[in-house]
A and B are shown apart, each in its own frame.
Chain A
């Protein structure tokens, strides 16, 4: 079982497919859950405080906007835990966690430059594209180690 980072990091389809084929999706949802369940922090809505952009300095310099660094403080550690990645090309509707193009560029860069298998494809628009989309993801996920390893 491998930790597979997905991009868009909040995708229903990717999160489902990774899990369906026996791996662990690393997705934004669990990070958000972790944040909002932090006891003693009250910074609605996501419990992100001024500390997060500072933690994000590990991934982006201080001249990078605070919103990028705040997001990177959540995405960066996920990339560091990942053993494989699936990147699906830009979705125009990905707001919120995926709402910043600059963060998205940096996220994809970190995934691509990590020494691990990475699959890149585009969201399907037709049945034919859908078939290829699912087949390629399925084969990619099957090629990853199925054994328990790399647990944090």
Chain B
């Protein structure tokens, strides 16, 4: 597992917080360690370095607002020639579009995590059910 080997890892920290701005998270990372390299991107901050150092600083940042700061590991280090759009001739890396879509869902997830933590009971959702033949008949007749 990641914690056990000393190799270099990259984690992406995505902030979706009212109290912690991405820049706050970035500043916290800048201050915390000299072993790591960080890069800010449109959707979050990439943190690269020895796994221990990366995990430590990422945990610190997450603790600033734990239900609204999200983390995933990344395969490529930032600016890798093989993936960087600058050297690859334009066009985002394929994973970017999905990340963008997920980032837009984070406020919903964060809110739900807050509720889960507070043991807020699950709101009953109204199930959408298929229209009965009778209902369709009524609609048709009413629009005639």
Contacts and interface: CB of A to CB of B under 8 A. Distances in A.
Answer yes or no: A and B touching, Cβ < 8 Å.
yes
Interface of A: 8, 10-13, 15-17, 19-20, 24, 27-33, 35-37, 44-46, 91, 93-99, 123-124, 126-135, 138, 151
- Which of the listed residues B111, B113, B123 has the most CB atoms from chain A within 10 Å of its own CB? B113
B102 A12 contact: yes
B97 A123 contact: no
B39 interface: no
A96 B112 CA distance: 29
A15 B72 contact: yes
A27 B80 CA distance: 20
B134 interface: no
A131 B67 CA distance: 13
B106 to A, nearest CB: 7
A9 B101 CA distance: 15
Nearest to A44: B82
A46 to B, nearest CB: 8
Interface string B37-52: 0000000000000000
Nearest to B10: A33
Contacts of A126: 108
A33 B97 contact: no
A45 B88 CA distance: 9
B112 A130 contact: yes
Given A13-B106, A29-B72, A36-B76, A131 B123 contact: yes
A27 B98 CA distance: 14
A29 B94 CA distance: 13
Contact of B80 (A20, A36, A93, A95): A36
Given A12-B12, A95-B95, A124-B105, A24 B1 contact: yes
B73 A93 contact: no
B28 interface: no
A123 B98 CA distance: 12
17 contacts: A8-B98, A12-B14, A12-B102, A13-B105, A29-B75, A33-B73, A36-B75, A36-B80, A44-B81, A46-B82, A93-B101, A124-B109, A126-B108, A127-B112, A128-B125, A130-B111, A135-B122
B56 interface: no
Contact of A15 (B10, B73, B82, B88): B73
A83 to B, nearest CB: 14
Given A11-B102, A95-B95, 15 more contacts: A8-B98, A13-B70, A17-B109, A24-B1, A30-B73, A30-B75, A93-B97, A93-B100, A95-B94, A126-B108, A128-B123, A128-B125, A130-B108, A133-B108, A151-B1
Given A44-B82, A131-B115, A132-B125, A95 B72 contact: no
A54 B120 CA distance: 50
